[in-house]
Structure 1
Amino acid sequence: MSKRNSALLLLLVLSGCGHPSGVMTPVSPPASNVTTSKVDMLVATTREPSGDPATLFNGERSPVPSLTQVSVSLPPKRQSGTVQWPKSLPPNPATDFAVTNVQQIATVDEGRAWFKQHVNGGHALVFIHGFNNKYEESVFRLAQIVHDSGMQATPVLFTWPSRAEITAYQYDKESTNYSRTALEQALRTLAADPNVKDITVMAHSMGTWLAMESLRQMGIRDGHVNSKIHNVILASPDIDIQVFAKQYVEMGEPRPKFTIFVSQDDKALAVSSFITGKVSRLGAINPAEEPYRSKLEKAGITAVDLTTLDTEDSLSHGKFAESPAIVQLIGQRLMKGQTLTDSNVTLGQGITAVVGGTVTNIGNVAATAVAAPATLVERPLSGRARPRSSDTTLEDDLKPQELVK
């Protein structure tokens, strides 16, 4: 067995979970004496239609994007940060996450009509899931994040063709490249809607690559990212640090406000680093250490280090969604463009923050403003990443003719 397959096998063992597949068939609402919550979302996808109402879309690539309205019911008495998958089908809305309505949307005008009916202060959240995700898994995860965060925004899911197999890492990565123009167009269409005042883009894991590539494309075409895209949140970004630096530079100015969630104990990113040439991933850096701290600070990027945060996630790869404090931070502060320098911020026991290059206690948490990606220096990850001279910056690697304005 190759080292790469061994690493993927280890990831499979660590991430093993079981829940029924095919939960997209709508069920009847619960009895009147059961109080549930509901999240309505718009779902754009480059996945191929499955032809089965229980799954809607599979992991193959479609040449034509699809748009669907989905309503998800969340059960009462649930623990924040968790998704209550049914133990058997059909789901029971009294105890499980359950789909209660699905409607295909055929035109942009229909999509805008839906958004106008569900407008929430004019704020839109566009979520892009990560590696190894089924359509239904990304739907339920976004519903959980929206509900638990208490955010005042209209949720939009962009789900790309993932085969939801640990061994399909390369297929999934190419699927993000396949989908970057579709995501760019979705963001443009959303920004052109007069009912939309501002947009937050939130991406996880491999989905952060897709988000950065689409924003970079937009910046290259127009000279800058659309002005309605105010905030970009990258959770456990599975991106080569040097590549992130170029993506950031090439999207032009002005840029949205960036926040990244990192964790040095992220096992999924450790495997990703191993199989992609032992190059450090952005989501695994220690932003309180140099060279990251001083250099990303110049860009005004805030990094929140979740290394000490304990969740039920055995991979430490989905902490941003499973921590009640973190999802509330996203919904109540980051989406509003607020900083983390307020003493009212409390993110949980043991988390430290570094804001503006200075380590500061903020309640029980620390947030970190890290270095400017244009001068970011790659450094070893747990002694495994390929070394790079400490006095060489990415600015030295970027040639003027390579920067498309």
Structure 2
Amino acid sequence: MAHSKRPDGYETAQANRHQVLRWLNRFGGLTTSQLSRLVWPDMSSGQRMAQRTIHALKKGGLVIRRQLPNGGSTYVLSERGSRLLRELGVTTASARGQRDLKFEKPMHRFICNEFAIDRHLEGLRIWTEFEIQRQQAPTPRITVGRHRKIPDLITQANDVYLSWVEVENAYKSQSRLLELVTVADRLLGPRDGFEIRSKHAEGFFTNMVFVASNLSRLIAVSRCFSVAFEKHLISWDIARDIELVAVSMTERLRWSGTVGTVTLETFLIAVEQYTDIQKVLLDEFPEPPPRLEDLSSWTLWKHCVSLFEEDTVEELCNEFELDTASPDALKSLPDNKIDCIDRNQMLAYLRDRLVWRDADVGLNTEFLQQCMNWYSQQDPDSSS
């Protein structure tokens, strides 16, 4: 008697179970919510599918449920689950499974994992924190002092361009932040990026990403880099290759994704503008905050000029018949000429490009405004 063929549903379920096991092996523990994003990203029933699959794997002794300190559960591979993966050809699966894994810093691990999943869903190749710790990733050999520095995540775009990702969730001393400055210099200093050739991947590290759920952590990073630039410890050119990414993660480890992204270059330019305008405000108004309308025409003009594009500068210099076409030449206009410039036009120009709130100025993007608000509230001499 011929054996009947198993239904397609069985094969699909089996494939899903194997895929879940593979992801657990790569991440070192995942929740059903994270698994639903990885295995069933486009299905409204993804969470239910993940729960059903985990239930079957747990019943078969292939995964182990682990309680998290912050509440909730995560799942790791059992010895039996790892053994099955090895039979399927996954050589990175540990013979002991993942039963000995510790989750001492769940917030950090969860931000790493969720951000990695986001990048994966964007089409990037990823190496997780767990893989990096197990030396299963194309990790550069960068030593600062006696310690080798490793990233929290690595991503790759177009099979070439690699990014070093740092998750900054907890306080770091100034000395530890300076170590990251050294890493950035060695990683991004070479013109074509830091080349790496390993059995895991080949490519060039051309980008460094700082991720945090607390804006004060990103501000601390930016301050440290700002000091390094001022002291010429590293080249300003690398600022455009460093990203500051704010993400949302609750204390109960609920992920809401990326809040905003800005390059370090953009942020520090905004800080410089903020500082320059603050100096003028303190000179003109002993008791800030003033309104934008309260500034003198000369002050309005000065800040307009600082924001003009090169073509606008050249056009206005020709209009005023100035000998040289430069921002400094425009700022040096005599008072009688500045008084002839339409104040309403200057006000409108600045409002379009600046956020003015209680003497706090940032570029006109919501996330950068949040960064600037944080920056203005911090003690410049503090590393926090």
- Which structure carries more relative contact order (alpha carbon 8 Å, separation 6+)? 1
Q: Specify which structure has the higher proportion of helix.
A: 2
TM over 0.5: no
Give TM-score scaled by structure 1 length.
0.32
Which structure would you say has the larger Rg? 2
TM score, norm. by length of structure 2: 0.33
